[in-house]
Chains A and B, each alone.
Chain A
Amino acid sequence: MEHCNQKVPNKIIISISALNKWFGDLHVLKDINIDVEKSERIVIAGPSGSGKSTLIRCINALEKFRSGKIVVNDIELTDDRKVVEQIRRGVGMVFQSFNLFPHLTILENCTLGPIQGMSLPKDKAVDNAMHFLEKVNIPEQANKYPGQLSGGQQQRVAIARSLCMNPDVMLFDEPTSALDPEMVKEVLDIMVDLAKEGMTMICVTHEMGFAKEVADRIVFMDQGQIVEQNNPNEFFTNPQNERTKLFLHQIL
């Protein structure tokens, strides 16, 4: 199976050190340490409840954490609202349930962020939005409302919406888990294209085929810890840890 071009070792875009998070008394992230380089494609896999989604939601401050340090694009993530907004401008996120704004057209969904968050003038924002809508093969739907689109189309719009902000990193939180099987491919194809263009991606997913094709590194999490990480070849053929072996046995 064709593997995307190996990336050239690059600057570190996201650096997470000693991250710990509790939900009340439940210790959901245990001492996470991970660095992500520019243009690196990471797939985070693991059983439910392992903390995968929580981890990436900490990166763009949708979840708060009690101890540890996250640095994104050389900016340290703090509680300061301005810092959070600045970091979020460089980090795009695609959600499992698309989360498109139902009261706006597809085009408006994609221009809201640039116009309000980046102060782009309206015509530039529209050009920008149409460019990315064409990229995800959905420009003809620009004036429809999200409720009129299928799941696969909505998710592609969600990807375009995030791309319109010109992020440095794209986070994907189980982007295809809520889709009917026949629509999964159209979304994964877009993600593969993105990967080929060199976008830094962190993807929580169960799609192991996608991981094999695109990922530079697969990170396996279980019960809040990073149990094992390796490149796809090694990961699938030679898992080191018992828990990894059990997980792979269950899903493959």
Chain B
Amino acid sequence: MLNTISLTTLSFIIGFFIAIPFGLARCRTGTLMSKITYGYVYIVRGTPLLVQIFLLYYGAGQFHKELRQVGLWWFFREAYYCGLLALTLNTVAYQAEIVRGAVEAIPKSLEEAGASVSLSRFQIYRFIHIPIATARMLPALGNEFVLLLKASALVSVIAVTDVMGQARYLFSETLDLSVFYIAAINYLIIVLIAEAILRKLEKRNIWLATY
């Protein structure tokens, strides 16, 4: 249970901070950065997460000699860290698109309004772009968190003892189907808590409904 929560929240938060520059890079169409990030998003969204997990875990196993040389083997040796990396890379792609959507939706006219009350570029970003984009992103990010939580069940295939991993182990020992019911309820509880937090955060953005 702890593994599931830590995997999901860690990859979500780390992914968020990486997704911000990615998403912003995507906003400036035509530049090299936007093309690179587009390629990244395209590949990550176009391949199944399961494939990505296998590639990372078993692929790292194949290259363990080189990784030892670079000093990264301690990371790729652990299924947990491989799973974390796969989930993070995956959520970065989706969150980057969420960031891009939110930032691009801010009309230029609001920048002009900020300029007309003599706000500097930095102040316009801080007081106009960031609050509005953040409020816009919140529902989509909440959605992404729930999806990531469910996707995290996949790391059980590389033997990480998360909720799903535990359920499969117990099932193989007891052949009792109810372990999966309990697993499902575990996920539901986490989702319930996440949605409660999301609703509290969205209360601050009542202005979005009338915009």
* Stretch from B5-13, B35-43, B106-114, B191-199 that touches the partner: B106-114
Complex interface residues of chain A between 88 and 113 (CB less than 8 A to chain B): 88-89, 91-93, 95, 97, 99-103, 112-113
Most chain-B CB neighbours within 10 Å: which of A61, A97, A116, A165? A116
* Nearest B residue (CB) for A94: B116
**Which of B126-134, B149-157, B162-170 contacts the other chain?**
B126-134
Q: Tell me if A67 is interfacial: C-beta within 8 Å of chain B.
A: no
Within 8 A of A (CB), among B130-162: 131-132, 135
Determine whether A148 belongs to the interface, using a CB cutoff of 8 Å to chain B.
yes
**Interface set, chain A 20-56, CB cutoff 8 A to B:** none
Would you call B211 an interface residue if the criterion is a C-beta within 8 Å of the partner chain's C-beta atoms?
yes
User: Which of A61, A103, A116 is the most central at the interface, judged by chain B CB atoms within 10 Å of its CB?
Assistant: A103
Among B116, B207, B208, B210, the one with the most A-chain Cβ atoms within 10 Å of its Cβ is: B116
Check A60–B207 contact: CB distance below 8 A: no
- Chain A residues with CB under 8 Å of B114's CB are 101
Nearest CB on B from A83, distance (A): 12
A106 to chain B, nearest CB (A): 11
Residues of B in contact, count (CB < 8 Å):
25
With A102-B207, A116-B123 as contacts: A97 and B109 at CB distance below 8 Å: yes
Would you call A103 and B207 a contact (CB within 8 A)?
yes
Known: A85-B120, A89-B118, A113-B119. A145 touches B207 (CB 8 A): yes
Are B112 and A95 in contact, CB atoms less than 8 angstroms apart?
yes
* A118 / chain B contacts, CB cutoff of 8 Å: 118
Instruction: Known A103-B131, A147-B207, A147-B210; judge A62-B113 contact (CB<8 A).
Output: no
Contacts of B208 in A (CB 8 A): 103
Please tell me if the beta carbons of B112 and A62 are within 8 angstroms of each other in the complex: yes
Known contacts A97-B109, A99-B109, A102-B132; A112/B116 CB under 8 A = no
For residue A117, CB closer than 8 A to chain B, the reply is yes
Q: How distant is the Cα of A102 from the Cα of B113 in the complex, in angstroms?
A: 11
A87 to chain B, nearest CB (A): 9
User: Is B117 among interface residues, defined by CB-CB distance under 8 A?
Assistant: yes
Quick check: is B115 within 8 A (CB to CB) of the other chain? yes
Partner of B116, one of A102, A116, A162: A162
B119 in contact with A102 (CB, 8 Å): no
Residues of chain A in range 111-131 having any CB-CB distance to chain B below 8 Å: 112-113, 116-118
Q: Is A161 an interface residue (CB 8 A)?
A: yes
The answer on a CB contact under 8 Å between B117 and A165 is yes
Shortest Cβ distance from B11 into chain A, in angstroms?
Answer: 29
- Chain B residues with Cβ below 8 Å from A164 are 117
Are A88 and B118 closer than 8 Å at their CB atoms? yes
The answer on a CB contact under 8 Å between A117 and B117 is yes
Q: Which residue of A lies closest to B135 (CB)?
A: A103
A91→B116 CA distance, assembly (Å) = 8
Determine if A101 and B128 form an interchain contact, defined as CB atoms under 8 angstroms apart.
yes
Cα distance A93–B111 in the bound complex, in angstroms: 13
B211 and A147 contact, CB distance less than 8 A: yes
- For B209, list chain A residues within 8 Å (CB): 147
Q: Chain A interface (Cβ within 8 Å of chain B)?
A: 60-62, 81, 85, 88-89, 91-93, 95, 97, 99-103, 112-113, 116-118, 145-148, 161-162, 164-165
Other than A88-B117, A95-B109, A103-B205, give 9 A-B pairs with Cβ distance below 8 A.
A99-B109, A100-B113, A101-B113, A102-B210, A113-B117, A145-B207, A146-B210, A147-B211, A162-B117
Q: Which 3 A-B pairs have the closest CB atoms?
A: A147-B210, A113-B117, A99-B113
